[in-house]
Chain A
């Protein structure tokens, strides 16, 4: 079962604009991670935010986490054409006493030059 769901499914913006994508999840989590996937390639880890953190930054990326609403957002500021990719959130759900990362369906971001 997919724990996290990204929204929107697709996002198209112009270079220089900010891109915001959201992730909602259903059950308690240990942490939430965001990944990027260039077309057909392996996923690359972007950022991890723990359940006791509310905001985290990494370069042009800003991630927020609201555990009361069971949601997270990823903001990419001053987007570039090279940011064109799919973005996935992954949440760690508990299974048999261990945390298992599960992924949503992703947001497809297109940044037009």
Chain B
């Protein structure tokens, strides 16, 4: 089944404790992206990747890192999480390199930073 898989789905952590949210897609998509969703703010893009080893900042990249060593994986790294990073995070992928095609979303990762 074609899908985007995120882990963990739920996480409660404390300020400063490094964490990684994994994202994997099995559709051989070139484009991948991370979003965060907060009440009243909609989805805001954190980072995106056009292809392996090609990443770029979105609208809210501060406090996050990403890597794209393999086509299928695009992990989101929070080196030193802070409470303002408490949010619902979504990974998405698209078959079009420019992200102009349909986006396929994961089920989301709800992160709470205490």
List residues of chain A with CB under 8 Å of any chain B CB: 1-2, 30-31, 33, 35, 40-45, 48, 88, 90, 92, 95-96, 98-106
Number of interface residues of B (CB under 8 A): 31
List residues of chain B with CB under 8 Å of any chain A CB: 4, 33, 35, 40-45, 48, 50, 56, 58-59, 88, 90, 92, 94, 97-108, 110
Nearest-Cβ distance from residue B99 to partner chain A, whole angstroms? 5
Overall SS of chain A's interface = strand
Using A33-B102, A90-B103 as known contacts, say yes or no to A100 and B108 having CB atoms under 8 A apart. Answer: no
Nearest-Cβ distance from residue B76 to partner chain A, whole angstroms? 15
B43 A92 Cβ-Cβ under 8 A: no
CB-contact partner of A99 in B44, B45, B99, B104, under 8 A: B99
User: Which residues of chain B have C-beta atoms less than 8 A from A43's C-beta?
Assistant: 43, 90, 92, 103, 105
Q: Cα distance A48–B59 when bound, in Å?
A: 23
